[in-house]
């Protein structure tokens, strides 16, 4: 049996979860990305792994987006969210209707991130904010399916290729019990390179320090864009421009992605989920503003109900200019940056960090200048 080409594999591991013979093992590449490998001795050629793979047999039920909104949640929520806070609104709305919510939280030590399933609002708060690293799926497909088999309902949120894996794993069943929400996805960054970058950062600043918080999108200084990163070690807060943390430099410059991201099959206007959310491009509210793409009748019905939900915030239909900009973004061809193949071949992660993911000091100075200007502006506007 042959699985999809390694270059196209998104690491959802639906194949491993359906294999009745435990014949699929995991191999890891230099950048720490995991791939399935079939043990020919154990394999009985049943073909289940091939038919569950969303790359080998594509999802055919995608639909063109029906309506696009700009959304701004309450200020308090937006400060704690990456963008306009739509995730918090829909998660709390569906939680109140008895749904469980699947989303991504940091690991307890902040050196990685994983998907989890919850029915608690406290855990949903931890799902807020984009963790720009590949999140481990662990058993989230299996655990979600168990809830659905018992008649439960689920809001599944995450990146498109992970939701595709989930939908294939469910094999078209339970569609009345699930709501899916994906993100406009730039790419999945190597969590191994992130972990090594963070360890080096801690070592250079506070040997043996304990990381208490990581925030890829500190607000309000980033003025809505994701350019400021915070790392809290013990009681000391390090706030820096994205480009000066090696991993984040690699992420924004597309140097640390999984191979499949360079020819992503989900970056298009036809979506496989009910909702797609992202950032409003160009001019938008400095505290953050969401794009909300409604892709199904179910999503339109939910939006109708949600607007009367307490503290729902403000929805505005996107104008033609914005719709055009989104269409253009979703039809852009993705290309692999020239340095990528050299980085992917390197076995020494410290060398990758020191040589290829170097901080950009010019941008650092510009950042400090902007930060001072913003502080002064704030003092005068108080």
- Name the site residues for ligand FAD (rule: CB under 6 A): 81-88, 103-104, 113, 127-133, 135, 157-159, 183-186, 188, 277-279, 290
CB of 84 to ligand FAD, least distance (A): 5
Stretch that binds ligand SF4, among 9-17, 149-157, 235-243, 312-320 (CB under 6 A): 9-17
- Out of 73, 112, 158, 165, which residue is the one contacting ligand SF4 (CB under 6 A)? 165
Select from ligand FAD, ligand SF4, none the partner in contact with residue 244, using the beta carbon and a kind-dependent cut-off of 5 to 8 Å: none
Q: Decide: is 45 part of the binding site for ligand SF4 (CB under 6 A).
A: yes
Residues sharing a CB contact under 8 Å with residue 304, sequence separation 6 or more, in sequence order: none
SS3 category, 213: strand
CB of 271 to ligand SF4, least distance (A): 11
State residue 243 phi and psi, 5-degree precision: -70, -15
Count the Cβ atoms, other than its own, within 10 Å of residue 283. Answer: 7
Q: Decide: is 268 part of the binding site for ligand SF4 (CB under 6 A).
A: no
Stretch that binds ligand SF4, among 18-26, 124-132, 276-284, 347-355 (CB under 6 A): 18-26
SS3 category, 212: strand
CB of 254 to ligand SF4, least distance (A): 10
Stretch that binds ligand SF4, among 88-96, 209-217, 260-268, 354-362 (CB under 6 A): 260-268
The CA–CA distances, whole Å, from 323 to 70, 293, 308 equal 11, 10, 25
Distance CA 244, CA 359 (A): 4
Helices (runs of H) and strands (runs of E) counted in the chain: 14, 15
The CA–CA distances, whole Å, from 283 to 100, 223, 279, 288, 349 equal 35, 11, 11, 10, 38
Q: Decide: is 4 part of the binding site for ligand SF4 (CB under 6 A).
A: yes
How buried is 143 (Cβ within 10 angstroms: 0-12 exposed, 13-18 middle, 19+ buried)? middle
Q: Hey, which residues does 38 pair with through a beta bridge?
A: 24
Q: Decide: is 17 part of the binding site for ligand SF4 (CB under 6 A).
A: no
Q: Hey, which residues does 114 pair with through a beta bridge?
A: 105, 136
Closer Cβ to ligand FAD, 207 or 333, answer by number: 333
For the segment 23-42, give every residue that binds ligand SF4 (CB under 6 A). Answer: 23-24, 36, 38
Closer Cβ to ligand SF4, 244 or 290, answer by number: 290
- For residues 43 and 21, the answer to whether their CB atoms sit within 8 Å is yes
Binding mask 53-82 for ligand SF4 (x = CB under 6 A): x-x---------------------------
The contact set with ligand SF4 (CB under 6 A) reads 1, 3-4, 9-15, 19, 21, 23-24, 36, 38, 43-49, 52-53, 55, 159-161, 165, 185, 187-188, 258, 260-261, 264, 266
């Amino acid at each position: 049996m042959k699985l999809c080409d390694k270059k196209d594999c998104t690491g959802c591991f639906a194949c491993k979860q359906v294999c009745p013979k435990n014949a699929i093992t995991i191999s890891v590449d230099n950048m720490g990305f995991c791939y399935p490998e079939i043990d020919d001795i154990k394999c009985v050629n049943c073909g289940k792994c091939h038919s569950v793979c969303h790359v080998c047999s594509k999802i055919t039920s995608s639909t063109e987006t029906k309506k696009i909104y700009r959304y701004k949640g309450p200020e308090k929520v937006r400060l704690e969210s990456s963008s306009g806070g739509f995730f918090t609104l829909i998660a709390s709305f569906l939680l109140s209707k008895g749904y469980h919510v699947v989303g991504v939280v940091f690991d307890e030590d902040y050196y990685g991130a994983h998907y989890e399933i919850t029915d608690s609002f406290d855990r949903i708060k931890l799902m807020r904010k984009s963790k720009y690293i590949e999140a481990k799926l662990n058993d989230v497909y299996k655990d979600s399916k168990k809830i659905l088999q018992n008649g439960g309902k689920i809001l599944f949120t995450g990146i498109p290729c992970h939701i595709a894996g989930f939908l294939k794993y469910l094999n078209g069943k339970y569609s009345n019990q699930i709501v899916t929400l994906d993100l406009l996805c730039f790419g999945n960054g190597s969590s191994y390179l992130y972990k090594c970058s963070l360890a080096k950062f801690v070592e250079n600043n506070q040997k043996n320090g304990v990381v208490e918080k990581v925030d890829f999108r500190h607000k309000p200084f980033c003025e809505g864009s994701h350019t400021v990163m915070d790392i809290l070690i013990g009681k000391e807060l390090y706030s820096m421009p994205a480009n000066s943390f090696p991993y984040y430099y690699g992420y924004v410059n597309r140097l640390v992605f999984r191979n499949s991201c360079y020819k992503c099959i989900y970056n298009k206007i036809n979506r496989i989920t009910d909702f797609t959310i992202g950032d409003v491009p160009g001019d938008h509210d400095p505290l953050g503003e969401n794009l909300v793409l409604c892709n199904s009748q179910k999503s339109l019905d939910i939006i109708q109900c949600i607007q009367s939900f307490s503290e729902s915030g403000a929805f505005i239909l996107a104008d033609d200019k914005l719709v055009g900009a989104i269409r253009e973004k979703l039809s852009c061809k993705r290309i692999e940056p020239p340095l990528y193949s050299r980085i992917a071949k390197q076995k020494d992660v410290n060398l990758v960090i020191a040589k290829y993911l170097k901080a950009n000091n010019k941008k650092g100075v510009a950042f400090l200048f902007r930060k001072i200007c913003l502080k002064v502006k704030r003092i005068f506007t108080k």
